[in-house]
């Protein structure tokens, strides 16, 4: 509809529901924590500005910056877990490609969990635990060769490190060749499996 001055009136903006608003804030907070200066270097005003909300709206959803950072890590962990386990609810052949696709769609969440949270004393233990649970899940997928369990754990931890670091470096390089990148990473991981004593 045209106004008296001949300009078009803007359509009214739809109000976001509580869950949508929370997700908007978490996505903006994740970006801000990764790009602004980590946990200590990012203020609530930075996050509110990035999310396009007031500080009062932030406090309706999160009690403190600590709670907000924790929720951002939890969001990232849930996204990664969902991608890695898929509908089957467990790791499989599609886990690494799915993890790379998820990381490519939300690179700041992947970086927050595996790069930034590890540097924050208050959150380091949880980030380390996420990595350890990945290695344990991967270790359960390794067929036993009758070798010493220590070597099987070594392979699981090394393969986990390769997945995480491989995806981080891929993201840092601008996520090139997203169709071929998972296969390249899987070939590198196969080399780790082949290093198991027989």
How does pLDDT run across 61-97, given as a tens digit for each residue? Answer: 999 999 999 999 999 999 999 999 988 888 888 999 9
Q: Is 198 helix (H, G, I), strand (E, B) or coil?
A: coil
Every domain of the chain and the residues it spans: 18-194
Cα–Cα distance for residue pair 83/99, rounded to 1 Å: 5
Q: At what angle do helices 65-85 and 95-105 cross, to 10 degrees?
A: 140
- Owner of token pair 């509580």: 18
Cα–Cα distance for residue pair 119/141, rounded to 1 Å: 30
Over residues 118-172, the pLDDT tens digits come to: 999 999 998 899 999 989 888 887 777 677 888 888 889 999 999 999 999 999 9
Class of domain 18-194: mainly alpha
pTM: 0.86
Q: Is 173 helix (H, G, I), strand (E, B) or coil?
A: coil
Report whether 117 contacts 38 (CB < 8 A): no
| Other CB atoms within 10 Å distance of the CB of residue 34 | 19
């Amino acid at each position: 509809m045209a106004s008296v001055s001949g300009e078009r009136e803007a359509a009214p903006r739809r109000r976001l529901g509580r869950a949508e608003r929370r997700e908007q804030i978490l996505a903006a907070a994740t970006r801000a924590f990764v790009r602004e200066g980590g946990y200590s270097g990012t203020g609530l005003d930075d996050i509110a500005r990035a999310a396009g909300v007031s500080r009062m709206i932030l406090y309706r959803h999160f009690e403190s910056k600590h709670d907000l950072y924790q929720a951002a890590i939890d969001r990232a962990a849930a996204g990664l877990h969902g991608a890695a386990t898929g509908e089957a609810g467990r790791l499989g052949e599609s886990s690494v490609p799915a993890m790379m696709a998820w990381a490519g769609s939300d690179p700041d969440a992947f970086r927050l969990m595996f790069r930034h949270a590890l540097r924050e004393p208050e959150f380091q233990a949880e980030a380390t635990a996420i990595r350890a649970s990945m290695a344990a899940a991967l270790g359960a997928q390794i067929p036993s060769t009758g070798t010493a369990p220590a070597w099987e754990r070594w392979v699981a931890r090394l393969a986990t490190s390769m997945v995480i670091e491989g995806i981080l470096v891929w993201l840092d390089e601008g996520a090139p060749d997203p169709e071929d990148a998972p296969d390249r990473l899987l070939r590198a991981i196969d080399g780790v499996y082949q290093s198991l004593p027989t």
